Structure 1
Amino acid sequence: FGSATPVSKIVTGAMPVFVGSAFRVGLGALVLAPFAWRKRGEIRTLVRRDWLIVCLIALFGMFGFSALMLYGMKMVSGVVGAIVMSTAPAVTAAASMLFFGDSATWRKLTAIALAVAGVLLLQLGQGSDGGSASEMWLGAALVFAAVCCEASYTLLGKRMSEHVDPVLVAFLASALSVPLFLPFAVWQWADFDAAQVSAGAWAAAIWYGAGTLSLGTWLWYSGLAKAEGAVAAAFMGVMPVSALLLSYLLLGEEFRLMHLAGFGTVFAGVLLMSWEHARMEKKA
C-alpha cells in the first residue's frame, strides 16, 4: 500500500487521470477475480443493504479515491503526498467516532491533532510563492480528500467483511467502479497517445493496479486473518514510512528538514493510534 503514493505520481505524469484510474481498477478486478471466484457462493447471500455498501465502496473507495489521488498528485511532490496520506489512520479514527459512535479517547484525539499539525507544518514550510503555493495547497487538499475516501473504504469494508470475504468485496467494488470511470476515460483517450508512454510508466501503472490494489488487498486481509488486531495496527505505521522512502528512491525528490518535521509529527500520531489499537485489543 505504501508504494501507491509515489507510483501514482509516475502514472499521473504519463497518462490522463481517468485513463490511469480505469486501467487501475480494471486490472485490479482481473487480478482479484480468481480469488473472488473461490468465494462466489457468498454473492447469493448478499442482501440489498450489502449491495448498497458495495456500491458506496465503489463510488468512494475506488472512483473517488483514484480520481482525487491522481489529480492531487499532479500538483504536489511525492513526499508531500506521502505525508498527507499518512494521516489515514487518524482520519479513519475520526470518521469512526463521528459516524459509527466509537469512543473518543485522549489518545485518538491527540493522534488526530498530531496528524493535522504535521500536514499544516509541512504546508506552511513550503513557502508562499504565489501560484505554486496555491496549487500545492489545492493538491494537498485533493490528496486529503482521497484519504477521506480511503477511510470510507476501510470503515464500510470493515462492516462488509464481518460476513463477506474481504477479497470478494474488493473485487466487486473494483468491478462496479469500472463503468464509473469509462465515460471519462473514453473522453480523455481522444487526446492520449499510448505509444508515447514509457515502459517504466506502464510498469508503474501495472503495479498501481495489480500491486497496490490487488496484491496489497490480498496480503493485507490474509494477514489480518492470521494476526491479532494489535499487530495489524502496529504495521499500519509501516505504510507511511515506505511511502516516504519510496518517494525519495523512485522519484528522486530532494530531502528537506521540513519533510522530516512534518512526517515526524504525523508519524507520532500514527504510533499513538497504533498504541491505542493495541490497548483496546488487550482490553477486549
Structure 2
Amino acid sequence: MSTGNTSSSPATIAQLLTGMALFGTATPLSKIVGAHFSIFTASCLRMVIASVVLAPFVWFATDRFANAKRSDWWVIAAISAFGMVGFTATMLYGMRLTTGVIGSTIMSATPAVTAIAAVVFFGAAMNWRKAGALALGVAGIAIINLFRGGGGGQGGDALLLGAALVGAAICMEAAYTLLSRKLSAGISSLETTLAASLLAIPLFVVLALLFDAHPFAFGRANTFGLGALAFWGAATGGLAPVIWYTGVRKAPGALAAGAMAIMPITALVMSYVLLGEAFRWVHLAGFGLVFAGLLLMIVENTKGEDNG
C-alpha cells in the first residue's frame, strides 16, 4: 500500500504507532460496550459513528468512489458482511464471555490466521515462518486458556466459548483483509472502509430489531459505557483507519509491518487498565508465544516487500 516515495520520518512513525495503538484498544472496549448495550444495537451505533468520522476524510482526501468498478461493490458487500457485521458481532459476543487478556492474545494471532487463509483459499506459498507463527499462536492461546487460574467472572465453559467466538472474529478479520486484495487499484482503503461501514448499518438495524432484547435502548448505560461506545466507534472505527492508512502510504513496508506489534501490546495493557484484570505470569508466557508468532509474520511481510 505504500508508494514508491517512502518516508521514515518521525511524523510517519507516529502515524503508524498511533493507528495501531488505537486499533489495539478495540478488544477491551468491546468487553465494556458488550456489558452496557445490546449486541446489534452497539454494533450499529459503532458503524454510524465511524461513518460520520470517516466521511469528511473520504470527501476531501479521495476521489469519492469515482474510480470504483462494479466488481468492487460486490467485494465491498462481502467485506461489509464478514469484516463489519460478522467481525463486530462475534467480537462483542465473545468478549462478553471471555477476559480481555484472552481476547487480546487471540487477536494477536490475526496475521498468522490471515497468512494461512491466504495459503488455503488463494494458493499463497507456505513456508516455515507462516507455519511457525500459527503454531506459536495456537500454543500461546492454549496456555492462557488452560492455565488461566481464576475466571473473568465466567465459568470455564463460558470462557472457552468466548475464546472460540473471538477466534471466529479473527477469521472474519482475515476475510476482510483477503477480500480487500480483490479490489481494483481505483478504490482506496478509506473509501472501502466507509462504504463497508455504511452498508453494515441497515443490516445491524434489522438484526437489532429482530434479536436484541431492548433495541436502541440506552437507559441502562452509564457515562463510562457511553464514553466507551463513542471512543470505540470514533477512534477504532474512524480515526484509526485514517491515521494508519495515511502512514502506510508513505512508510517503507518493513516499518509498516513492524508497527503491527503495537496493536496486541496496547490491547493487553488496556485490558489491565480499563478492565482491571489481575496480572498473572501465565499471561506473559501465553502472550509471549503469540507475540513471537506475530514477529515471525512481521519478518515474513518484510521479506515479501523486499522480494516484491
Structure 1 stretches of 4+ with a deviation exceeding 6 A read none
Q: Which residue of 2 aligns with 1:25?
A: 47
Per-residue deviation, 1:132: 1.3
Could you tell me how far apart the structure 2 residues matched to 1:16 and 1:32 are? 24
Q: 2:27–2:103: 8 Å Cα contact kept in structure 1?
A: yes
1:53-132 mapped onto 2 (5 Å cutoff):
53-126=75-148, 132=155
Q: Kindly indicate which of the two structures has a greater share of residues assigned to helix.
A: 1
Could you tell me how far apart the structure 1 residues matched to 2:51 and 2:45 are? 10
Per-residue deviation, 1:49: 1.6
Per-residue deviation, 1:193: 4.2
The two structures, once aligned, show a CA RMSD in angstroms of 1.8
Q: Which residue of 1 aligns with 2:223?
A: 199
Could you tell me how far apart the structure 1 residues matched to 2:223 and 2:300 are? 43
Per-residue deviation, 1:243: 0.3
Could you tell me how far apart the structure 1 residues matched to 2:292 and 2:62 are? 41
% same residue: 44
Per-residue deviation, 1:237: 1.0
1:177 aligned to which of 200, 223, 241 = 200
TM-score normalised by L of structure 1: 0.94
Q: Which residue of 1 aligns with 2:250?
A: 226
Per-residue deviation, 1:40: 6.7
Q: 2:208–2:215: 8 Å Cα contact kept in structure 1?
A: no
Could you tell me how far apart the structure 1 residues matched to 2:214 and 2:262 are? 40
Q: 1:83–1:119: 8 Å Cα contact kept in structure 2?
A: yes
1:210 aligned to which of 218, 234, 251 = 234
Residue identity in the other structure for 1:177: A
Residue identity in the other structure for 2:107: M
Cα distance, 1:235–1:40 mapped onto 2, change above 3 Å: closer
Question: How many pairs does the alignment contain?
Answer: 283
TM-score normalised by L of structure 2: 0.87
Cα distance, 1:274–1:41 mapped onto 2, change above 3 Å: closer
Could you tell me how far apart the structure 2 residues matched to 1:156 and 1:191 are? 31
Structure 2, unmatched stretches of 5+, are 1-22
Could you tell me how far apart the structure 2 residues matched to 1:91 and 1:137 are? 19
Structure 1, unmatched stretches of 5+, are none
Q: 1:72–1:140: 8 Å Cα contact kept in structure 2?
A: yes
Cα distance, 1:282–1:47 mapped onto 2, change above 3 Å: closer
